[in-house]
């Protein structure tokens, strides 16, 4: 959660079979470079208000 700007930066979360979908208060607080270094993560991006 630290890499996402902390617990208070997450508005909501949901998942499907292949993705974790997050709605963030402030996406600029996300440490994108460090998130992409997480083992097992295939990618991270923002689209249509979801990260």
The domain total for the chain is 1
| Separation of alpha carbons 33 and 17, rounded Å | 24
Phi, psi of 29 (to 5 degrees): -80, -10
pLDDT, tens only, 28-38? 999 999 999 99
**Annotated active-site residue in 1, 16, 17, 33:** 16
Q: Residue 14's domain is classified under what CATH number?
A: 3.30.1360.60
| Separation of alpha carbons 10 and 26, rounded Å | 8
pTM: 0.83
| Separation of alpha carbons 11 and 34, rounded Å | 21
**Domain, as residue range, for 37:** 1-51
Residue 16 is a catalytic residue: yes
pLDDT, tens only, 2-47? 999 999 999 999 999 989 999 999 999 999 999 999 999 999 999 9
Measured in whole angstroms, the distance separating CA 50 from the mean position of its chain's CA atoms is 8
């Amino acid at each position: 959660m630290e890499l996402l700007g902390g617990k208070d930066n997450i508005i909501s979360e949901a998942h499907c079979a292949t993705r974790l979908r997050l709605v963030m208060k402030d996406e600029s607080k996300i440490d994108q470079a460090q998130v992409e270094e997480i083992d097992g993560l295939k990618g991270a991006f923002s689209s249509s208000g979801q990260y």
